[in-house]
Amino acid sequence: MLINIPQPDFDIGIIGGGPAGSSLAAYLAKAGISCVLFERETFPRPHVGESLVPAANRVLQELGLLEQMEAAKFPRKYGSAWTSVTSKKIYSHDFEGLPLDCRGDIRFDEREMQGDRNYTYHVDRAKFDHLLLQHARKLGATVYEGVRVNRVDFPKDDFPRIVISSEEQEVVKSVR
Ligand SMILES: Cc1cc2nc3c(=O)[nH]c(=O)nc-3n(C[C@H](O)[C@H](O)[C@H](O)COP(=O)(O)OP(=O)(O)OC[C@H]3O[C@@H](n4cnc5c(N)ncnc54)[C@H](O)[C@@H]3O)c2cc1C
C-alpha cells in the first residue's frame, strides 16, 4: 500500500535577513538545500555594525562576493586601533583588562590573514546587507522581505510550521 506523506515546503527556514541569515541562506542554496528566509523589513534598511573583521573575508570569498564588495567601493580597512583620550601609550600585549589610559593597534598584514587580501571593509550596512540578501536570492534561496515571523509551531505529528504575517495576512509554511 502506498502512503502519501505530505512534504514540507522547504528543508530549512531562516528568520531574519541580516548578515547571519543571508549568509546561511547563501551557503545552503549554494549546497543545493532548499531554504526560505523571512525578513520583516524591506531592504535596503539602516543598521549599525559597519566595521567588518578580517574573518569576514573568508565568508565573502566562499560565497563569491568579493568582486561585488570591490565594485561597491566600500572603504578598505587595513587595521584597527583602540585609543584613549588620556594617553598615547601603545598597548602591547593581549587585550585582557585594557586600562583607560592605553592605546592598542594592529595592522592586519602583521597577522595571518584568511584569503588573499590584507584588508577588510568598512561598510554601509544598508547597502552591504542588501547585497548579501540579493546574493542569497540569486544563488537560489527563497527570500521574502516585509514578512514578519510571528511564531514557530511544532505540531506532534507534522513538520514544524513557521507562522508569518505580511500586511495583516497570516500564512503558514512548513519546514523539515
Ligand atoms: C552599537 C553597535 C555597534 C556595532 N558595531 C559593529 C562593528 O563595528 N562591526 C561589527 O562587525 N559588528 C558590529 N556590531 C554588531 C553587528 O551589528 C551584529 O553582529 C550584526 O548585525 C549581527 O547580524 P545578524 O544577521 O545576526 O543580525 P541583524 O543584523 O540584527 O539582522 C537580524 C534581522 O532579522 C530581522 N528580524 C528580526 N526579527 C524578525 C522576525 N520576527 N521576522 C522576520 N525578520 C526578523 C531584522 O529585521 C534584521 O534585519 C555592532 C552592534 C551594535 C549594537
What are the pLDDT digits (tens) for 91-106?
554 555 555 566 667 7
pTM: 0.87
pLDDT at residue 168, rounded to an integer: 61
**Rounded distance from Cα 126 to ligand 1 centre (Å):** 11
* 150, 164 contact by CB (below 8 A): yes
Indicate whether 159 pLDDT > 90. yes
Ligand 1: centre distance to CA 14 (Å): 14
- 131 close to 43: Cβ distance less than 8 angstroms: no
Backbone angles phi, psi at 145, to 5 degrees: -110, 155
pLDDT in tens, 29-76: 999 999 999 999 999 999 999 999 989 999 999 999 999 999 999 999
Percent of the chain beyond pLDDT 90? 64
Tell me: cis bond preceding 44? Omega within 30 of 0 counts.
yes
Residues pairing with 40 in the sheet: none
End-to-end CA distance of the chain: 24
* CA 52 to ligand 1: nearest atom: 11
How far, in Å, CA of 172 to CA of 175, rounded? 10
| Fold of the domain built from segment(s) 12-49+125-174 | FAD/NAD(P)-binding domain (3.50.50)
pLDDT score, position 131: 98
For residue 24, what are the CA distances in angstroms to 50, 63, 71, 115?
Answer: 19, 10, 23, 20
User: What pLDDT, in 10s, does the model give residues 126-142?
Assistant: 999 999 999 999 999 99
Q: What is the mean pLDDT of the chain?
A: 87
Compute the distance from residue 47 Cα to the ligand 1 centre, in Å: 7
